[in-house]
Each structure stands twice: as C-alpha cells, then as structure tokens.
Amino acid sequence: MQTLIWNNLTEVEKQQALARPTISTSDELKSAVQNIIDFVRLQGDQALFELTERFDKIMLDSLEVTPQQIANACELVPEDLKLAIQNAKRNIQVFHEAQKLPIIDVETQQGVRCEVLTRPINQVGLYIPGGSAPLFSTVLMLAVPAKIAGCKKIVLCTPPPIANEILYTANLCGIETIYCVGGAQAIAAMALGTETIDKVDKIFGPGNAFVTEAKRQVSQLANGATIDMPAGPSEVLVLADEFADADFVASDLLSQAEHGADSQVILVTTSENLVKQVLQSVEKQLAQLARAETARQALSHSRIFIAENLQQCIEISNQYAPEHLVVQVENARDLLPLLDNAGSIFLGDYSPESMGDYASGTNHVLPTYSYSKTYSSLGLADFSKRMTVQELTPQGFMDLAKTVERMATAEQLDAHKQAVSIRLAKMTKQAIQPIAK
C-alpha cells in the first residue's frame, strides 16, 4: 500500500490519490450485454438454457429449482451453520422491522387533510452471485426486507450449480420461487420476463461487471425494471488514531481486500507509528489467507494517508465517501456527528466490517464508488413506494381556493385555475339558490 502525507500533496494530487480503480465498461462489454438482453427478449427460456450451457458449462433440464431439490440441499447444510444463519436472520429482521414508517396523517390547515401511504413493490427480483464464493448472506440481506415490506411476488436468480447454503437460506426466508440462472441473462429475464420467469418491477443484488452492466441497461429500457442502486467494486476506509490496535486495523483492511482484485482499501490515520505496525501485520495476516493473491492485487492500488489531526482524517473520509467506514479511535462515537458520507459506519475496536456483512442486523448492500454522497444503504424503504393522499372538505377547499387560483394565474396555467374556479362557482350558486317549494 502506498503511504502519503496528506499535507504534502497538491489539490490535484489529493484528487488523484482518492481516485478509485477505473471501472472498465468497454464498448465490447456493453455490446456483449446488449446482445444477451436482445437474445433473452427474442428467445426467452431457450436463450437462458443456451447461455447457461455456454457460460456455466451446465445443461439444465429446468430453470426452476424444485421443492425437492431445496429440501435435499437443506439436509446437507451443517447444523452449526444453520444456527449461525438463523441468528443472523433474527438480527437482520429486528433491525429492518424497526424501519417501518409511522403513519403520517396531518391537517395542513383546517379542512385540508394530507396523508402518506406506504405500499410494497409488487414484484421484485433478487440476484445472488455464485462462483467461488456463493453469497448466501446476501440472500438474507435482500429476502428479509422484501418479506417484511410485503412484496407480493419475490423471485430469486442465482447461477448453477447452486450452493446448498443459498437454497437453505432462501428457504429459511420463505422464498419459494428460485431460478437456476445467472449473469446478465438472469437480469434480462427478470426485467423482461420469459415463458417461465415472471417480469419483476425492481431488481436487487450485486454481481460481476456483466451483471452490473445488465442492471444499468435494463433500468433504461421503457419496459425494463428499476434497480436498487449503481454499483462499483467494494471498498473500506479505516479511520484510526494512535490508540488503534494495528492487528485489528490490518484485519479490517484485508477483509475487504479479499473481496476482489478491483476492491480498494484506505487507511487514514494521524500516527506514522501505527502505519508501520499495520503494514507488518498485513504481511503476517496475508500469509494465512486462502485468497491472499486477490488481496495483494487489491492492496496494490490502495492507499494510506497520514493526516495532521482527526479533523483532517474526517475531511478525507467525507471526501472519499466510502462504502464501509471503520472508526477505530478513542471515543469513536464522538466523531459520529461529523461523518457525513458513508454507506455503513462501524464504530470502535469491536465493530469490524464482518459483523455488518453477516449478522449485526444492518444491510450489507451499500453504495460504492462515492455514491454514498447521495445514496443510502439498502433498507426496508427500497422495497416499498409511497403515495400521498389529500382530501379537502368544502370549507377547506374554499379557504385554500384563492391561494391556488392566484398561483395558477401566475404560472399561466388556466386549466389549473379553472379546476378551482368552476367548483367555487357551483358552490356559490348552490349556496344562494332558493329552496324549491
């Protein structure tokens, strides 16, 4: 990891030092994904069978996973892992249940009632990556809030061969519709629909460059689907003072670096001595990692910044806007009001990022690539939509009528004014009309 003294850098050098690894969205990748989407649109299920054989080297008899296959997979998951997944699910459920919005029903002025109604998104698709590290924890992060929100149709797509842990976790969360399809073709199938896979309204979940590009493309189609958030490589920033434990800091950096070669980890500290200890600990811990080579590649484009004081550390962190922010300083909670941009914050020595990734209760689907400046961590609200309601009594209408007429006139929207004026005229006429004998 390159070590830089923040105050020795020019403004341009600071920007360059905080830059993420470039996300490669080449014309070739865009074109390949577009071809996959078009193939699925035209050929439906047949395209999914052919693409699965081409990319995953597996010939499928059926796209949908049967109840018996799910039951068989559940039997093969070790009991201690089942208990761990159940415990994580409980915590995630408690935290997301607490996110239910209160009823909003107010009278903005007498006779003018305004409400907010929250309704679940009807049909959602959950994408779970497979490969060398099947992310069954992501099933919890997506399925639990979808269930709590009350989404009527929840489908899950994941590439074959599906890990037993993914099927067990989906079953635990009550997900009944699971399809054995991955990659850009799974995103296309959920966005457009096929003979077997129903079209969904919104797609959630991480994936590789093809999945990410497919989500981007389908979100721009008139008949496509919305997506959870824009995505980039995973990242962490550790903010540490001279009292931080070097082994803890090193472990947090490496836990993110092992995600992928394009991940980025940042250490911001006031202590040069800590930097030396952390670098030594990183080397020692790397020797014990199965994914050491992946972590080393991530470390090669990662950074250490030595800041003048904690205030400068905070400024660097807010400018970088990390996906994960680990705060290992004395009285870490005192910094919380000053931290503006982060997907998820981990306070203190005993709050490693791993806790949030798996089981503390917060969601691990987070904005990356500085999107935490404007996007939030995934939560219950993402599986819902809000509708506003207004209801005016005759008196409330009359009291507000002149305000609306004047504003509509100023904007030269005559029909808007007439919608009020016509009602006023009828109300006035009815009020003075003589009573029939």
Q: Do residues 304 and 251 both lie within one domain?
A: yes
Q: How many independent structural domains does the chain possess?
A: 3
pLDDT reported for residue 85: 98
Same-domain status, 219 and 353: no
Beta strands in 162-247 (DSSP E): 177-180, 202-204, 226-227, 235-240
User: Is 234 assigned a ligand-binding role in the annotation?
Assistant: yes
Q: Is residue 410 part of a domain?
A: yes
Beta bridge partners of 390: 114
Is residue 324 a known part of a binding site?
yes
Here the tokens at position 116 are 């907010």
User: 181 with 45, same domain?
Assistant: yes
Closest CA to 244 of 318, 307, 314, 326: 326
Residue 63 belongs to domain with CATH number: 3.40.50.1980
DSSP H or E run through 292: helix 292-300
Examine the residue annotation and report whether 301 is marked as an active-site residue of this protein. Answer: no
Give the tens place of pLDDT for each residue, 61-91. Answer: 999 999 999 999 999 999 999 999 999 999 9
Among 209, 210, 258, residue whose Cα is nearest residue 236: 258
| Segment 122-126 mean pLDDT | 98
What pLDDT score does 56 carry?
Answer: 94
396 has pLDDT over 60: yes
- The verdict on 184 and 199 lying in the same domain is yes
Q: Tokens standing for 137? A: 């924890």
Flag whether 404 is in a domain: yes
416 is in an annotated binding site: yes
Across the range 280-299, mean pLDDT stands at 95
Q: Which of 165, 213, 235, 324 is labelled catalytic? A: 324
Structure tokens belonging to residue 102: 């209160």
Percent of the chain with pLDDT over 70: 98
Residues 126, 70: one domain? yes
In a domain, 73, yes or no: yes
Decide if 414 is inside a domain.
Answer: yes
When pLDDT is averaged across residues 402-426 and rounded to a whole number, the result is 97
Q: Would you say residue 434 has pLDDT above 80? A: no
Pick from 230, 245, 274: which residue ends a domain?
A: 230
How do 112-120 and 384-392 pair as beta strands?
antiparallel
Q: Is the pLDDT of residue 432 over 90?
A: no
> Is 185 annotated as ligand-binding?
yes
Write down the mean pLDDT value for the chain. 95
Does residue 106 lie within any of the structural domains?
A: no
pLDDT grade, residue 131 (50/70/90)? confident
Choosing from 204, 230, 256, the residue where a domain stops is 230
Residue 237 and residue 226 share a domain: no
Binned at pLDDT 50, 70 and 90, residue 435 comes out as low
364 is in an annotated binding site: no
pLDDT digits (tens, 9 = 90+) for 176-229: 999 999 999 999 999 999 999 999 999 999 998 899 999 999 999 999 999 999
In 3D space, the residue among 284, 273, 330 whose CA is nearest the CA of residue 306 turns out to be 273
**Residue where one domain finishes, among candidates 161, 196, 230:** 230
Tell whether 388 is covered by a domain: no
Q: Give 346-389 pLDDT, tens digit per residue.
A: 999 999 999 999 999 999 999 999 999 999 999 999 999 999 99
- Confirm or deny that 256 is annotated as ligand binding: yes
407: domain range? 393-432
Q: Which of 323, 330, 353, 364 is catalytic?
A: 323
d(CA 432, CA 425): 11
Q: Is 102 exposed, middle or buried (0-12, 13-18, 19+ CB in 10 A)?
A: exposed
Whether 312 maps to a domain, the answer reads yes
- Encode pLDDT of 145-158 as tens digits: 999 999 999 999 99
Distance CA 326, CA 328 (A): 6
Number of C-beta neighbours around residue 256 at 10 A: 28
Identify the pLDDT of residue 437. Answer: 47
Residue 16 lies in a domain: no
- Whether residues 195 and 50 share a domain: the answer is yes
- Kindly state whether residues 338 and 218 are assigned to the same domain: no
Q: How far apart are CA 342 and CA 33, in angstroms?
A: 30
Considering the domain architecture, whether residues 225 and 323 belong to the same structural domain is answered as no
Question: Which of the residue ranges 17-21, 191-195, 247-251, 267-271 would you say has the lowest mean pLDDT?
Answer: 17-21
Indicate whether 182 and 329 sit together in one domain.
no
Annotated active-site residue 324? The verdict is yes
Same domain? 237 vs 224: no
Domain co-membership, 273 together with 217: no
Structure confidence by residue, pLDDT tens digits, 12-62: 999 999 988 776 668 899 999 999 999 999 999 999 999 999 999 999 999
